[in-house]
Amino acid sequence: MRNYWWLEVTKDVRKYVDGYDLCQRMENRRVVLVGKLMTNKILEKVWTYLTMDFITKLPLMVGKDAILVVYDRL
């Protein structure tokens, strides 16, 4: 309706949507589904949850082109 308007535009659009098969099969959600919020566990021990990754394809420096990254969640 921002770009086009005529008398009974809403009625004509509703009639078109009601008769269009794809519009009838697709259902828009009126409410956003939200999951239950949960707090993170408080960790008590070091070196329990580790994440490791390599950063590669770096410019050569002293014959090396990668870095090992180690991350402890605590």
Residues 23-57: tens digit of each pLDDT: 677 766 677 777 788 888 888 888 888 999 999 99
CA-based nearest residue to 47, from 12, 73, 19: 73
Report whether pLDDT(70) > 90.
yes
What is the per-residue pLDDT for 29? 65
What is the per-residue pLDDT for 1? 66
| Domain parsing of the chain, residue ranges | 9-72
Is the pTM higher than 0.75? no
**Rounded CA separation 67/74 (Å):** 22
E strands along the chain, which residues?
50-55, 67-72
Could you tell me which residue, 66 or 31, shows the higher pLDDT? Answer: 66
Residue 1 in tokens: 């309706």
Residue 65's pLDDT band (cuts 50, 70, 90)? very high
